Amino acid sequence: MKIIWTFTLLMIPDVLSSISVTGYSGGGVTITFKYNKAYETDEKYLCKGEGSECKVQIRMEAKHQWVQSGRFSLYDNTTAGVFTVTIRDLTEQDSGIYYCGTEVYGPDPKTKVNLKVITEFRNQVNTNSGKVRGYSGGNITIDYKYEEKHKNREKLVCKSGEHQCATLISISRSEEWKHSSRFSIHDDRSAGLLRVFIREMNVHDSGEYRIIERVSEDYSLFSEFELVITHAACCQKSISLSAAAGGSVNISCKYPQSHTADVKFICRRSGADLCAEETRSEEESGGRKAEGKIRLYDDREEQLLTATISHESPEHSAEYWCGVQSAGHKSFITRVIISFTDADVSDTTSSSPSSSSPSSSSSVVESPLQTMCVRK
């Protein structure tokens, strides 16, 4: 009976096709419709419901530019014979039958869309109030969870502009970091986790972004977030230190007061692109933590993260990062370059971000940030 019903539906003159779309609560969906070039000058629309009860959600008002109506957007590309509908901030109440159609004299050609919104799983970036915060000169990682059934789908990151979302980087393979300018992306399909990395950030990186999953030729899923890049007046961007091999060195990094209650970390770059060796502060309260050769102390009253690294040899000279972890993302604030020497030096040097006197043992590294630091 179901097969007969579907066949009958497609035989109705004004119903050209039927598709099923699955979205996720809090996320968004983009649906693409192709039409005959004979209809390129006609008005396009999206309505919800059946027959005469189909209520128009959005109607085309101009060609070759996005039209907005609440959470709905529509774009008519007459050159390609395609119009695109986007629905943001999905809720369970958005589930139902929709029709995308073209208004012509007589029966209008349209596509039936069965939209189902799932509330049990949220495929969005876990953020506070939809914002991801980073700092000028630093780096950031953003985590995006997706369902296992979408693991083989192409995924991409784009930045929203006035008329379109410009693609910054995309990936279609698993377990490989892919790089494009200051953007990197990694798809861990076994964990259902997409990780986005942005380095050497500046205030111009602020804006609206989307992480998109291409499900089929008919539709894509996406999650939106706002990236806010500010200057951290409290904090140094880069520090250079040296110490005798076998001794110890202290790293002191200031962080913004807004991150007092967040988890802090220090990580060491251990490969071409990775910062897998990471020590984190306790989430519950400030205090000391020892892990391997690194002892960490978070002074939340002074907003100061201090790490002591001991018993290193010259070959362990490396790049470290101090940062903070908020909901769904990490901000790498201060880069620390440490050089361990063979010299028989009994005392070590340390730095304080607040020190500005010529006698201070820390110095700002003026070269641009060239490496990335990500915890796998």
Give residue for tokens 């780096």.
139
The answer to whether residue 354 scores a pLDDT higher than 50 is no
What does the pLDDT look like over 195-204, one tens digit per residue?
Answer: 999 999 999 9
User: What is the rounded distance in angstroms from the CA atom of residue 116 to the CA atom of residue 97?
Assistant: 9
Instruction: Give the list of residues 6+ apart from residue 302 with CB closer than 8 angstroms, or none.
Output: none
The answer to whether residue 93 scores a pLDDT higher than 50 is yes
pTM: 0.78
What pLDDT score was predicted for residue 287? 53
Give residue 50's Cα distance to chain centre: 37
The answer to whether residue 89 scores a pLDDT higher than 90 is yes
Mean pLDDT, the chain, rounded, equals: 79
The answer to whether residue 275 scores a pLDDT higher than 90 is no
What pLDDT score was predicted for residue 263? 92
Q: Residue 246: left if φ>0, alpha if ψ -120 to 50, beta else—which one? A: left
243-258: average pLDDT: 85
The residue with greater pLDDT, 277 or 97, is 97
**pLDDT category, 376, cuts 50, 70, 90?**
very low
The answer to whether 224 and 130 have CB atoms below 8 angstroms apart is yes
Residue 346, class by beta-carbon neighbours within 10 Å (0-12 exposed, 13-18 middle, 19+ buried)? exposed
The residue with greater pLDDT, 62 or 258, is 258
State how far the alpha carbon of 201 is from the alpha carbons of 226, 318, 369, in Å: 14, 22, 10
* Helices assigned H by DSSP within the chain: 2-11
52-61: average pLDDT: 88
